[in-house]
Structure 1
Amino acid sequence: MSSILTNSSATVALQTLKSINSNLSKTQDEISTGKSISSAKDNAAVFAIAKVMESDVTGFTAISESLALGQSTMGVAMNAAEQTGELLQEIKGKIISANESNVDRDKLQSEIASLREQIGGIVGAAQFNGLNLLSNTSKTAGSGSVDILASLDRASDGTVSTKNITVGKQDLGQGAAADAGSEADTNAGTDFSSTNHADGDTAAIATFTASSGSGATGSVEAGRSFVIASGSTYNAGSSDIVYVARDGDTIKDVAQQMANRLSFTAEAAGNTDFTFAVNSNGQITAENNSGAAVADDGSAISEADAGETGGTIGGGLELLSQVDVSTKEGAEAALSAIEGLMQTSVGAQASFGTSARRIEIQSDFISTQIDTFKAGIGSLVDANMEETAARLQSLQVQQQLGVQALSIANSAPQTILSLFR
């Protein structure tokens, strides 16, 4: 039956042509954008996954920039630490020369002073973007280290967190420590017992205790002062021996620093009867080298814990400012002291080297991670251009045939007119 009101063939042809045109439009969009999924309506689930991954790529890119900044900062610090180490070796050579009998110690001292000033200049200038990793004299908790953004972690529940590489600050400054000015707990340490000690014996001089911990591994509040009072038998000095803890120090660190200062002061004064060290409990010990009895009056060597945190933190190379080879005693003491100072420098270089290696590895990983994520996103949303091009040609042919079919269907009612002639 033919009808002039309803043309079923034309309707079918029109719907087919609409479908072909819709597919052709989508294919043309894929060619122009290069994506098979460019909006949520194309595939909501895949689109959401791709957008999350794209946001992670943005985060990783920012992390890569942070690591690059960290590498630059570490590079400056490492270079300064290495230069300082070389200058300390040069100073050591001058000190060794000063231990000779027939030398001009005053001239050697002048050269040492010049090298010392050069070290100060290098350490002071070792900053990048305002951050100097060779300065650790702040009393704020956590100031002894710097966190470098290193990773972006996404949990299975969608929670995102960051991870840092913590770089410990070192201190190669020469500033002098000053106590807090309130020695509230004088003679708090464990003095020598009343027993006379024979040659080779060891006894504890002082046990340091802090409010935030005790023992060899206990932590110490930054800025807390520790003092060995002047006038003690084995101090042989005219002023207190002071160490002010920096952030990250343990009780044992404090004891070791106090023992270093005690040894240096005693040697500089010509008192070489005792060797000072630190035992596993974080106690300063003295070994009698000459067979003389250890004083037992309760005040020979005592520790005063200045119970405040207002002290001035000294530099890691503080003893360098006290090196004086103009006398034989000073030259001998300096030879012992320079070894400890060189170890401080070597320790700083090793610490920076370890951190720099971690940053380098992480930077390489993040770079690879970014490339991997981009490839993954591409596999989800990018169009297969070869397939798309072939489909475009096919749809264009279908479109032409669809137009022809619709034209034929629309011309069918024209045959009815012949019946009315």
Structure 2
Amino acid sequence: MATISYNQSSASALALLTGSTRALERQTVRVASGREVNQASDNAAYWSIATSMRSTGLSLSSAQDAAGLAAATTDIASLGMEAATGIVSEIKAKLILARSPGVDRDAVNAEIAQLKEQLGTVSESASFNGENWLQASGAPGVKSLVASLSTGPDGTTSINTIEVDTSETTLTSSGNPEDGLLTRTYSGTTPAGNAYEYYLLSSGGTPASATAKEVGISNATTEDELDGMISAVDSMLSGLTSAGARLGATSGRIGGNMDFLSKLQDSIERGVGRLVDADMEESAVKLAAAKVQQQLQTIGLNIANEQAKSILTLFR
């Protein structure tokens, strides 16, 4: 029996329309966001896992940025060390040339002086983000570079670092001359049996040894002195080569860690996607179906309301 105070048909049609509207809203959000799980109420377990994994991914992104800064600093230092090694090799070649009879050693020394100025420029210029591992004003120290992150079973995050001892890479030191590969004193004995003590660059202070001399020649320089300078420069080159190798190994290690972090981030994104991403083709079909269902139920509600209007006309 039809009644005016309560229209059961209209109420049922309205309830169906309300459910269709909510379903349409859910499908619209899924299609717009591309996610099946947008909030905890959609799937609490998947949402919790995805939130945790996104946090880990964000931490990895920060670690990758920090590793990028470390890589840039290492690359600059490595480039400077390579340039310094080449210049010192040229100085050695000039000293060997000066060993030949009849060579104007004063002219050769002018070239050596220019090369030494280049070394100073290289040492000062090898700086990135305020870090210069080739030049020290105080005592060199150990630098801890961010390499990667690791997460323990309890969810705690640990930062993995790579240690770089700048005492092994410092070229010039204005504090203690012995801290710099080019400012420290190299001593030994010449083939003729005479002792020598030489340093290549002046640090602006007093050499560690009062008897040490700066590498430099003139027409009055003896062959025995040249032999001592060549031996000292050989020792410098050995130290420079070792320092360059260490920097290269560090750069390679940082680069490998950055590649790993990048791949790990991609894996995390894929893992999160498998949990919360929506099947866009399926969602698009469901969205279209929800729209049609809403339209049909709107028509049904209109029909139910028209029936009530027809009954009201009997009382006019």
State the TM bucket, normalised to the shorter chain: 0.7 to 0.9
Residues 174 and 314 of structure 1 are in contact (CA less than 8 Å); yes or no, is this contact kept in structure 2? no
- Tell me the alpha carbon deviations over residues 197-241 of structure 1, each in whole angstroms, 9 at most, x when there is no partner: xxxxxxxxxxxxxxxxxxxxxxxxxxxxxxxxxxxxxxxxxxxxx
Separation in structure 1 between the aligned mates of residue 212 and residue 116 of structure 2, nearest angstrom: 7
Note the C-alpha offset of 1:5. Answer: 5.5
Identity of aligned residues (%): 32
The answer to whether the Cα contact below 8 Å between 1:67 and 1:148 also exists between their aligned partners in 2 is yes
Aligned ranges for residues 211-226 of structure 1 at < 5 Å? none
Aligned equivalent of 1:330, options 210, 213, 225: 225
User: Any residues of structure 2 matched to 1:170-249 within 5 Å, and which?
Assistant: 170-173=169-172, 177=176
Q: Partner letter of residue 323 of structure 1?
A: V
**1: CA distance between counterparts of 2:312 and 2:95?**
123
Matches for 1:1-400 after TM superposition, within 5 Å: 8-136=8-136, 138-139=138-139, 143-169=140-166, 170-173=169-172, 177=176, 261-263=186-188, 266-267=189-190, 271=194, 322-325=214-217, 326-400=221-295
What SS class does the counterpart of residue 138 from structure 1 fall into?
A: coil
Task: Kindly state the Cα deviation for residue 390 of structure 1 after the two structures are TM-superposed.
Answer: 0.9
Separation in structure 2 between the aligned mates of residue 126 and residue 357 of structure 1, nearest angstrom: 19
List runs of 5+ in structure 1 lacking aligned partners: 179-242, 247-257, 275-311
SS in 2 for 1:77: helix
Structure 2: how far apart are the matches of 1:177 and 1:327?
30
The answer (yes or no) to whether the contact 2:68–2:258 under 8 Å persists in 1 is yes
TM-score (normalizing by structure 2):
0.78
The amino acid of 2:63's aligned partner reads: I
Distance 1:21 1:334, change over 3 A: same
TM-score, length of structure 1 as denominator length: 0.60
> What are the Cα deviations for residues 346-388 of structure 1, in whole angstroms up to 9, with x where unaligned?
1121111111111222222222233332233333222222111
Whether contact under 8 Å (2:137, 2:174) holds in the other structure is no
Task: Give the Cα separation in 1 of the matches to 2:125 and 2:291.
Answer: 70
State how far apart, in whole Å, the 2-side matches of 1:390 and 1:407 are.
Answer: 26
In the other structure, the counterpart of 2:201 is none
Task: Give the C-alpha shift of residue 408 in structure 1.
Answer: 5.4
SS in 2 for 1:128: coil
1:73/1:127 contact within 8 Å kept = yes
User: Matched residue of 2:236: which SS?
Assistant: helix
- Which runs of no fewer than 5 residues in structure 2 stay unpaired? 197-204
Cα distance in 2 for residues equivalent to 1:417 and 1:62: 70
**How far off is 1:129 after superposition?**
2.0
* Deviation (angstroms), 1:13: 3.6
Find the aligned partners of 1:56 and 1:377 in 2 and give their Cα distance: 11
Distance 1:320 1:23 in 2: 87
Quote the residue 1:251 is aligned against. Answer: none
Structure with bigger helix share is 2
CA gap 1:320/1:403 in 2 versus in 1, 3 angstroms = farther
- The amino acid across from 1:366 in the alignment is L
Tell me if structure 1 keeps the 8 A contact 2:94–2:108.
Answer: yes
- Matched residue count: 297
Deviations 1:104-163 (A, max 9, x none): 333333332332222122112211122111125633xxx523222222322221212222
Task: Give the Cα–Cα distance (whole angstroms) in 2 for the partners of residues 270 and 417 of structure 1.
Answer: 128
